[in-house]
A = this chain, B = another copy of it.
């Protein structure tokens, strides 16, 4: 387990790597998030970090979460949050989600290989279907200067 001092050291080198300033709020936000579990939203992170930094603003939380995600410090699980999307392809298929432009392409199961799965998991979850997102770079984004 990392103690607070190690966490601070880790954080400093993370910031150095990505060329971002080490500010107090950024540091506390990072430590707070490290201590959280599950899949928190910015509002949830804000509620927790506010306990240690009562004057921090929600905007700062948003800005820094984006920064952390871009730097690869944390990962975003909602790759296509933001707006509802309806699936128009009724054949079984997976999705190729470009991590840069967020474009979503369909992909036949044969291209990836179908995972085996059981209908009911040991924790009681009853499986209806798998939704597989393949995250990566689309051909266009690989060749773009960016």
Chain A contact residues, CB within 8 Å of chain B: 33, 36-43, 45, 65, 68-69, 74-90, 95-99, 104-105, 107, 111-118, 121-139, 142
Contact = CB atoms under 8 A, between A and B. Distances in A.
Contact of A131 (B37, B85, B132): B132
B134 A133 contact: no
B127 A136 contact: yes
Of the listed residues A42, A98, A121, A131, the one surrounded by the most CB atoms of chain B closer than 10 A to its CB is: A131
A86 B36 CA distance: 10
Contact of A74 (B87, B114, B130): B87
A124 B41 CA distance: 33
Nearest to A141: B126
Q: Count copies of this chain in the complex.
A: 2
Contact of A86 (B39, B128, B136): B39
Contacts of A90: 75
A125 B138 contact: yes
Given A39-B86, A116-B113, A128 B121 contact: no
Contact of A136 (B42, B104, B128): B128
Contact of A123 (B127, B132, B135, B139): B139
B128 A99 contact: yes
Contact of A77 (B43, B95, B115, B122): B95
A136 B131 contact: no
